[in-house]
Structure 1
Amino acid sequence: MDEKESQTHAQFLTLFTANEPAIRAYVRRLVPTRQDAADVMQGTALVLWRKFEELDDPERFRPWAFGIARYEVLGWLRDRDRNRLVLAEDVIEAVAVESAQQESLLDAQRDALADCLEKIPVEQRELVLAAYGPDASIQHVAQSSGRSVAAFYQWLHRVRGQLLECTHRALKAEGLL
């Protein structure tokens, strides 16, 4: 790999790593399951890398990546058009446009939630994150917390309410709500 290829590779990795959570969230809003999103993200990452030299302005990486991700979702949709659980192409297009328009607000919400999570005690934060993990079992998380399942759900409901209030306060302070 020569110097120019190495620099291109480093720039792509930097931009992709910084934007991957937002791209994944965007794709996740357009497909039914996390596994579908993971499948689409694999194709999206490959296309982004192959077409990276076509990107004129690295500052526009995210919207450019969203456009590619949208086309990857549409391709995924065409491949699965016989499945009744898949949305129609025009619905996907409408959701994609709306999602792209809402991305800055969603970023602010994610940042505010992350900040609010940091404010709660470590033990509580770990329980909340465990409850929402990809393979989470509420029964297991409740048991590890020393609560019954019903008591854990009540506790989780209260903590979610606190996080929601904290997030709204942060967004209002930034003038986003």
Structure 2
Amino acid sequence: MERELPEKHEQFLRLFTANESAIRAYVRCLVPTRDDASDIMQEMSLVLWSKFQELEEPDGFRNWALAVARYESLAWRRDKARDRLVLAADVLGMIAVESAEQARQLSEQRDALEVCLEKLPLAKRSLVLVAYEPDVCIQEVAKQSGRTVAAFYQWLHRMRMRLRECARRTLEAEALS
């Protein structure tokens, strides 16, 4: 019996080291980081050793070890899903400040765009607004404008660039005043 344990241990080590890189690569595909894979490999090697006497055929070690790795990875994922990831109060504060700043900037940009749209002649403004309505058919809008589809897209691009430049100037002027 005493002699049997070192032989089993040696057999396990030979099989494990021969297959470790394949098992690790498999585990690495199942979890997000190398550290997670290392944690799973540690736990899995303990399970493999404790259940090694149940392995009937040493030739099936790799498949058996991959199955154990899969179950250990699933258990790891289950345990991680239970963890509550809570952001620190200072991080939440930073996110809130950043979000408020972005909302303010977007509101200012929208207001500047409205001002610039109002500066366009009514016919051009109407065409621009119609082109951005939901479920609009650009071919029909192009036909309505008296242009080909390609020419309408070029015109619409020029209008967007004109509106963007106007909005930029409006925002700069507001910043200076």
Q: Per the shorter chain, which TM-score range?
A: 0.3 to 0.5
TM-score w.r.t. the length of structure 1 is: 0.46
Give the TM-score taking structure 2 as reference length: 0.46
Larger of the two Rg values belongs to structure: 2
